[in-house]
Structure 1
Amino acid sequence: MARPERIAVLGAGSWGTTFAKVLADAGGDVVLWARRPEVAKAINDSGENPDYLPGIRLPDRLRASSDAAEALHGAGAVVLAVPSQSLRENLAGWQPLLPAGATLVSLAKGVELSTVKRMSQVIGEVADVPAEQVAVVSGPNLAKEIAAEHPTATVVACADHERAVDLQLACSTPYFRPYTNTDLIGIELAGACKNVIALACGISVGLGYGDNTMSSLITRGLAETTRLGVAAGAEPMTFAGLAGLGDLSATCMSPLSRNRTFGERLGLGETLAQAQEAAHGQVAEGVKSCSSIRQLAERYDVEMPITDVVHRVCHEGLQPGPAAAELLGRERKPE
Structure 2
Amino acid sequence: MLKVKFTTQPITEMDVKESSKFIYNFWKKQGWIPDFAIKDIKIILKELIDWSPKSKLISVYSEGGELLGWLINYIRNETTIEINPWGLRGHPIILSEKYYEIAKLLIKKAIDQAYEDGFSRIELIYPVRKEEDEAKVQEYKQFYEALNFTPIAILGHVTCNLNEKMNVYPLREEITINTLTSMNEEQLFNCYKEIFRDSEGNKYADLTEEEIRSLFKEVFECRVCLIDEASHVFTKNDEIIAFSIVRTTYGENNGHIWMIGVHPKYRRQGIGQALLSRIKKTLFENGFKTASAGYDLMNDAADKLFNKLDFKPVKIDVDYISSKLEK
Please say whether Structure 1 and Structure 2 have the same fold, judged by a TM-score greater than 0.5.
no
Q: Which has the larger Rg?
A: 2
Q: Higher RCO, 1 or 2 (CA under 8 Å, sep at least 6)?
A: 2
Q: TM-score, normalised by structure 2?
A: 0.36
Q: TM-score, normalised by structure 1?
A: 0.35
